């Protein structure tokens, strides 16, 4: 998530003719819709959180004619941000009273909601798991273990551990690489992902970086954070996915693209391009989970709502499918 003006993007890293993966539009919401995050269900359906309205949608990207289904309108919040799965039928997400124009949640309004899907035809069960009263701006969310979530706080530059049984919360991680920049005070650490349960990857949008930190079983630091890569001049990293190799596929915000960053810090643009609406202000990414789409990176966008394409073009929030087999094939052949 982000909202500030940036200089023009300097172009990337390897020849695009080698790197670009095919991109397919799955569904586009009406103009003025910001899709913030997604979770992929084992069935292949996507759960989508919105910033512009506190709504959770379900979308089947493999359907012949995908149409979003409203799961719930969270009337106690004004927006939804991170979402994570603890078991195949249980998801947790962040809600708060804030808008994308201000990025300033009302103090005490950060909530963790539980969404449980019982056996059909029973409707989803919605409840509040925790109110993280001392948090400022909860953004990314991952599952540490079946009863513990980790949530990034973009303003504090910290990570909270939240107990889904008791609702208790505490800060477990703070590092200089998580802090906001002085000129962008609200948006430090942003997206977070776990790899092999002991390495936390995170982006810092204000510092325009991707980093990792090794953690203990309780979420506390086992080492200082280490920067892997910096975003290209004029852009920054938002949320991202981690592939089976431990490489990150990052949304670039104003870069209107997906950038792959390998563990050694080398990088390449694999889809999209600056100042095009193909991937308009991407916000998050996750891989498919079925045999049919495990190679597909699903990407959500804000449609350029905060950062218009080419300075003045805004489209509806998008759900996109990026076929990553081309870039993976080049990587495995050692050609890039």
The predicted structure's pLDDT at residue 241: 98
The predicted structure's pLDDT at residue 330: 64
Within-domain flag for 216: yes
CB contact at 8 A, 284 and 37: yes
The predicted structure's pLDDT at residue 55: 98
The predicted structure's pLDDT at residue 328: 78
Sign (positive or negative) of CA dihedral 202, 207, 209, 212? negative
The predicted structure's pLDDT at residue 332: 65
Number of domains the chain is built from: 1
User: Which element (helix H / strand E) includes 31?
Assistant: strand 23-31
Domain range enclosing 176: 16-333
The predicted structure's pLDDT at residue 197: 80
Within-domain flag for 102: yes
Within-domain flag for 63: yes
The predicted structure's pLDDT at residue 10: 35
Within-domain flag for 2: no
Within-domain flag for 45: yes
Alpha-carbon radius of gyration of the chain: 18
- Predicted confidence pLDDT, tens digits, the chain (336 residues): 654 434 333 333 444 445 589 999 999 999 999 999 999 999 999 999 999 999 999 999 999 999 999 999 999 999 999 999 999 999 999 999 999 998 899 999 999 999 999 998 999 999 999 999 999 999 999 999 999 999 999 999 999 999 999 999 999 999 999 999 987 778 999 999 999 889 999 999 999 999 999 999 999 999 999 999 999 999 999 999 999 999 999 999 999 999 999 999 999 999 999 999 999 999 999 999 999 999 999 999 999 999 999 999 999 999 999 999 988 766 665 544
Cα(336)–Cα(330) distance, rounded to whole angstroms?
A: 6
The predicted structure's pLDDT at residue 6: 41
* CB-count burial class (<10 Å; 0-12, 13-18, 19+) for 27: buried
End-to-end CA distance of the chain: 30
The predicted structure's pLDDT at residue 271: 97
- The two three-digit tokens of residue 24, written as one number: 């397919």
The predicted structure's pLDDT at residue 161: 98
Within-domain flag for 64: yes
What is the Cβ-side half-sphere exposure of residue 105, based on CA atoms within 13 angstroms? 30
Within-domain flag for 8: no
Beta bridge partners of 235: none
List the CATH number of the domain containing 233: 2.120.10.30
Cα(192)–Cα(197) distance, rounded to whole angstroms?
A: 12
Within-domain flag for 30: yes
């Amino acid at each position: 998530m982000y909202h500030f003006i940036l200089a023009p993007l300097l172009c990337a890293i390897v020849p695009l003719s080698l790197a670009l993966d095919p991109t397919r539009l799955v569904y586009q919401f009406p103009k003025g819709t910001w899709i913030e995050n997604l979770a992929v269900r084992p069935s292949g359906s996507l759960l989508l959180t919105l910033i512009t309205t506190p709504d959770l949608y379900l979308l089947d990207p493999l359907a012949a004619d995908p149409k979003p289904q409203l799961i719930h309108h969270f009337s106690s919040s004004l927006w939804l941000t991170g979402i994570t799965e603890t078991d195949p039928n249980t998801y947790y997400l962040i809600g708060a009273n804030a808008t994308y124009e201000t990025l300033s949640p009302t103090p005490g309004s950060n909530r963790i909601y539980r969404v449980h899907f019982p056996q059909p035809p029973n409707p989803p069960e919605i409840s509040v798991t925790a109110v993280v009263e001392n948090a400022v701006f909860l953004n990314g969310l991952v599952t540490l273990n079946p009863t513990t979530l980790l949530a990034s706080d973009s303003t504090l530059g910290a990570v909270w551990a939240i107990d889904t049984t008791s609702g208790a919360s505490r800060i477990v991680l703070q590092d200089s690489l998580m802090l906001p920049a002085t000129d962008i005070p609200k948006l430090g650490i942003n997206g977070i992902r776990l790899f092999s349960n002991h390495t936390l990857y995170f982006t810092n949008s204000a510092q325009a970086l991707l980093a990792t930190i090794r953690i203990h079983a309780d979420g506390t630091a086992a080492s200082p954070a280490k920067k892997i890569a910096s975003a290209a001049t004029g852009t920054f990293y938002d949320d991202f996915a981690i592939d089976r190799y431990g490489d990150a596929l990052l949304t670039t915000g104003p870069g209107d693209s997906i950038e792959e960053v390998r563990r050694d810090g080398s990088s390449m643009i694999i889809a999209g391009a600056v100042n095009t609406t193909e991937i308009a202000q991407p916000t998050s990414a996750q891989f498919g989970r079925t045999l049919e789409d495990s190679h597909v990176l699903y990407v959500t966008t804000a449609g350029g709502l905060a950062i218009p394409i080419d300075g003045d073009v805004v489209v509806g929030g998008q759900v996109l499918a990026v076929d990553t087999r081309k870039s993976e094939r080049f990587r495995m052949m050692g050609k890039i």
